[in-house]
Chain A
């Protein structure tokens, strides 16, 4: 039997360029982006006016009339222009992709940009030739690059066979990346997270999470019928065929390895949580979730007993005030910041009094942006930001529900969950709901790897949301199933 699928005739009848230029208006996206622009301009004015008044207020003078100006008009202008260009590119490409994701993510990125412009600019500096770029400008550069990546991926990706067919290649690439970090990685704050190759440096775990989701989507969609079978019984627990549990145990081992070798608790927690959610989505078996949580608890207990850095994190979580000037300093300062913010916050630019020229929370721009935002926008602002993450997750799950086949459904669900779970882990860590683990807040935290990896996620979600894409490739005959089917 031939395996070539019948494709719609028009895809081969027209040359590529002609198919590309078939504009389709996206008024909903434009209207939402307009709201984003208005909100960010007002936020920038609030920040600029406060920043102007600060020196005077600190000197004891109260200015009588406010000189309302934007904090960094050019920076914000470039960011909004980039969003508009992305919108126009989608209009010109004429694909029927999701219209809510770009504004929602653009709002999160814009809030992050305002925060980075507000924080002391010398937290991160980098010089290119004669120009020195501070925190705000670097974040802006990464954001523009990230919007570019999301747009290009969202427009260009029309077929998912390059993801679907090479899942083991992707898994191998991911493991290679992980091993490379184990061996060559540099230690930052006692955790081996970043990889420097020549002039480039980055955090591979950010890219790894995308690769992980792609692999899991491929594996789970292919083996779903087998995983739902229950032919192994251990006491009251009914399990699928044992060989198909191997990847689950391998996942668990990889998560443990990340904790032990890389000391990256956040990435390990993220990978395992996303893995369990996808397993549940693919099979709808609660026993897997129970089993996974038991494995997690066992692993967590053993790691707690064996490793000092895990113990320290948990102890700080249980009582940060026990060592408020030492190990618990970061968490304690974050709690103070949330407390200062209260319900409405101090206003952008008015929070975070510097301690000896430094912001009181170490790593506020990467690990604690939520504490800074909680102080300046208050509980109300914080809830709005968490709501925006919920919107991103809802869109992803909605795209998954509308997907044509299992691979796309699991891929879309996984991509959105990876963002949602990551936001939850770091937000809950900042709020002392769970032990603090150092990962970034998606779209808001400073950092190139984080922004680009999350842009890749958004781009793939946009590409998957298009109803008019190429149909899924015909599945290959699965010889392994023949045995099971014959047994019936």
Chain B
């Protein structure tokens, strides 16, 4: 085999090799990203405070949600809402099957989804807003 053909062969194979080197580097980045996401994943959803006139909880606060979370003024609730219009046990958020549901626990002033009052149980989608007293929360997906 003469020098020219050999050189061309080497360059050709080098190009293919570099394609795979690039692919390998990318896949390594992707794997690292997926692993770190799998480690952190403990919450099922996030509740973000959009509006809170009384200041507790503060606007922008984030609550990671388990399968069951309760909202109300009582300190034993998962999400404590110190708002004069909220009841002690105001509402609960549950994750069943593939969906979130809001249940009003017989509160005085009611629970609202996007401004619509909840009668007993109502499904809740990501991006929807829940109002308890004068505090509004937005449900978001868990950070993956």
Contacts and interface: CB of A to CB of B under 8 A. Distances in A.
A481 B116 contact: yes
Contacts of A479: 116
B116 A6 contact: no
Interface string A2-34: 000110100000000000000000001001100
Contacts, number: 165
Interface string A43-77: 10110011001000000001111101000000000
Given A6-B59, A43-B15, A391 B127 contact: no
Interface string A467-481: 000011011111101
A413 B39 CA distance: 23
What size tier do the contact residues of chain B reach? Answer: 35 or more
B20 A63 contact: no
Contact of A5 (B25, B50, B118): B50
Interface stretch (B1-9, B63-71, B79-87, B88-96): B1-9
Interface in A372-424: 377-378, 380-381, 384-385, 387-388, 391, 394-395, 398, 401-407, 409
Contact of B4 (A8, A65, A103, A284): A65
Interface in B115-139: 115-116, 118-123, 125-129, 131, 138
A478 B114 contact: yes
Given A381-B16, A488-B120, A32 B127 contact: no
A157 B38 CA distance: 29
B63 to A, nearest CB: 15
B114 A477 contact: yes
Contacts of A407: 127
A486 interface: yes
Contact of A402 (B20, B21, B48, B143): B143
Given A347-B12, A401-B144, A53 B26 contact: no
A409 B20 contact: no
What size tier do the contact residues of chain A reach? Answer: 35 or more
B16 A394 contact: no
B106 interface: no
A284 B98 contact: yes
Nearest to B120: A488
Q: Is the interface of A mostly helix, strand, loop or mixed?
A: helix
B13 to A, nearest CB: 7
A305 interface: no
Given A391-B30, A404-B127, A475-B128, A68 B18 contact: no
A39 B15 contact: yes
B54 interface: no
Contacts of A53: 4, 8
Contact of B131 (A1, A476, A485): A1
A285 to B, nearest CB: 10
B23 interface: yes
Nearest to A50: B8
Interface stretch (A82-90, A220-228, A323-331, A434-442): A220-228
Contact of B21 (A35, A68, A403): A35
A225 B4 contact: no
Question: Which among B27, B34, B120, B123 has the highest number of chain A CB atoms within 10 Å?
Answer: B123
A375 B58 CA distance: 63
Given A471-B138, A475-B129, A485-B122, A377 B16 contact: yes
Given A32-B25, A381-B16, A477-B115, A6 B51 contact: yes
A49 B122 CA distance: 69
Contact of B29 (A42, A65, A100, A224): A100
A279 interface: no
B22 A471 contact: no
A348 interface: yes
A35 B22 contact: yes
Nearest to B23: A387
A405 B11 contact: no
A482 interface: yes
Contacts of A405: 126-127, 140-141
A344 interface: yes
Contacts of A406: 125-127
Question: Which among A62, A284, A485 has the highest number of chain B CB atoms within 10 Å?
Answer: A485
Nearest to A473: B127
Nearest to B121: A488
B105 to A, nearest CB: 16
Contact of A347 (B3, B8, B21, B144): B8
Contacts of B29: 28, 32, 99-100
Contacts of A36: 22
Given A481-B116, A486-B119, A49 B16 contact: no
| Shortest beta-carbon contacts, A-B, top 7 | A405-B127, A39-B18, A347-B12, A66-B7, A384-B19, A46-B11, A477-B115
Given A49-B7, A405-B126, 10 more contacts: A32-B22, A32-B25, A38-B18, A66-B7, A100-B29, A107-B19, A347-B8, A384-B20, A405-B127, A474-B129
23 contacts: A6-B50, A8-B60, A43-B15, A46-B15, A49-B7, A100-B29, A103-B26, A221-B127, A344-B12, A347-B12, A377-B16, A380-B16, A381-B16, A384-B19, A388-B23, A395-B30, A401-B37, A402-B141, A405-B126, A405-B141, A474-B138, A488-B120, A488-B121
